[in-house]
Chain A
């Protein structure tokens, strides 16, 4: 199975500052025939289900603020929040949907306000 590893496990950032979360897959999730990375990011706020933020590594889901961006290719990916807002406090998960099944998630990164 593909192992997804996120770093750091937790992160504290000041309001208005940039937050960066990394995700590494044990094998490339880039499909060269269509040049797409089969990598998604989810946000889970306390007491809520996860919400899809970004897919194909860098495409924002409809309604997601543009302060959220995804980048990377192959095995290394990054979720960036350009200017942290209070409502962004959550656990963030990356997920690969290339080598399926099983679909595998990273262990999660807890983002807090400093």
Chain B
């Protein structure tokens, strides 16, 4: 069955960095677009970045543009999010999700990984 498993979250100081990973299984990873979505404690869902199936296209929310970098390794069935210059407002659960393309909903979601930014 389809499975997405995030890892790499944790506690980091403001200005620090973290790299999140999302390991996929149960489907043809290279056929799908992937997105990162975050959810601050007690808040709603915020889309932050996506990457196309062939890695040629990446997009970012204004809130993370220039600080976060999305990437993927189709040979390893893995998605990544490099997060630099972290701020307190980046504290959230980060989910990876798959979708069939730019104009498709997010059909599978991981369980999420918690990122806490605090001194």
Contacts and interface: CB of A to CB of B under 8 A. Distances in A.
- The answer to whether A and B interact is yes
Interface of A: 38, 40, 42, 48-52, 55, 61, 93, 95, 97-98, 100-108
Given A97-B99, A108-B45, 5 more contacts: A42-B45, A42-B106, A49-B112, A50-B95, A103-B106
A52 B111 contact: no
B61 interface: yes
A86 B108 CA distance: 24
B21 interface: no
B59 A49 contact: no
Contacts of A104: 47
29 contacts: A42-B106, A49-B109, A49-B111, A49-B112, A50-B45, A50-B95, A50-B109, A51-B109, A52-B107, A55-B104, A61-B107, A95-B45, A97-B99, A97-B103, A97-B104, A97-B105, A98-B103, A101-B47, A101-B50, A101-B59, A101-B60, A102-B61, A103-B47, A103-B50, A103-B106, A105-B45, A105-B47, A106-B44, A108-B45
Interface in B75-119: 95, 99, 102-112
Closest 8 CB pairs of A and B: A40-B105, A49-B109, A101-B59, A103-B47, A55-B105, A105-B45, A108-B44, A107-B44
Nearest to A48: B111
Interface residues of B, number: 22
Contacts, number: 56
Nearest to B106: A52
Nearest to B102: A100
Interface centre among A49, A51, A52, A102 (most CB of B within 10 A): A49
